[in-house]
Amino acid sequence: MSDLIKIAVDAMGGDGSPKKVIDGIIHNKKTDNGNIFKIFGDQDEIKKHIEGKINDSSYEIVHTSNVVKSTDSPLEAAKRGKDTSMWLAIESVKKKETDIVISAGNTGALLVIAKLNLKMIENIDKPALSALWPNKKGMSVVLDLGANIECSSKNLVDFSIMGSSLYKSLYPNEIPNVALLNIGSEELKGNETIKETYQTLNDKKSKNFDFAGYIEGNELMNGKVNVIVSDGFTGNVALKTAEGTANFITSELKQALSGSILGKISSILNISNLKKFKKRLDPRLYNGAIFIGLDSPVVKSHGGTDFIGFSNSLNVCNKIVKGNLIDKIRSNI
């Protein structure tokens, strides 16, 4: 494989695009990590923001004026045609013109258009939406975060294999430690699907990951496991709860430290620790959800993130390709 990672970028998706997306690309090139870009969208708009900012050899623009709107249903997005920036970006990875595709656009549309264009990895029935969460010891991979509301035990076993493969791609020197998100840690807790999954994973003794049993919602960030598996309904609720809690803590702390003279003095005295705290909870550092299970990797950047967040999701793209994620899933299945 070439050292250069070619990323297909839907430049028109998400808030503040294409400027935010292009600024993210420019910021990412400062790290010189070997990313080059095939950018899909309105050529005039893109050129306005990129020309003269990075080397011409590090990007190519494919013009289209048709875009998937944030208000489109997945069906409307698919009907909008094969010349939208999202469709063309996904098609480029299908044709092997690029290594990976990223969009900050409509999540439902991205999943549907990806499934229409790309094949599933053999023996995987459903793709999952996964993301990185911080924990006390580093990072965890969490899946599924909303792609599949209902899951069978086979789906959850597949998610365990895919999640551990993703973790190994991103952190090659660490061992994936998998747990199932449940309402209790005892073997008898939970519905029939999760109990069946527990039994399968417990008996299987995979050589690719350690199985740690169940994990409860209040233990997600303690760092004892680094791959957390659930159905899409439960995972999405857990994600939104964690995001809301982090935002609440950050805003309450900010208010407490700026509301009185004592608070302001305290914040000045603790400025170094407060910066570390803020950085640890900065969602931009964990931007970039991944659809896994398809035969090419598809990354979803948060639509509301800024250019720093988008740049970080480009780093995730780089690690996924260099870590041979798809090959790892195939061999582990």
Distance of CA 125 to the CA centre of its chain: 20
| Contact by Cβ (8 Å): 280, 137 | no
Residue 150, classified by CB atoms within 10 Å of its CB into exposed (0-12), middle (13-18) or buried (19+), is exposed
Span 192-232, pLDDT tens digits: 999 999 999 998 877 888 999 999 988 888 889 999 999 99
Span 106-149, pLDDT tens digits: 988 999 999 999 999 999 999 999 988 888 888 899 998 888 88
Domain 1-124+293-333, CATH number (from 3.40.50.620, 3.40.718.10, 3.40.50.1860, 3.30.70.980)? 3.40.718.10
Q: What is the pTM of this model?
A: 0.84
Going by their DSSP bridges, the two strands 289-292 and 210-215 should be labelled as unpaired
DSSP 3: S
44 Cβ contact list (under 8 Å, min separation 6): none
Q: Domain extents for the chain? A: 1-124+293-333, 126-285
Domain 126-285, CATH number (from 2.140.10.30, 3.30.1950.10, 3.40.718.10, 3.40.1280.10)? 3.40.718.10
Q: How far apart are CA 152 and CA 140, in angstroms?
A: 23
Q: For residue 1, is pLDDT > 50?
A: no
| Contact by Cβ (8 Å): 22, 44 | no
Assess whether the region 1-124+293-333 and the region 126-285 belong to the same CATH fold.
yes
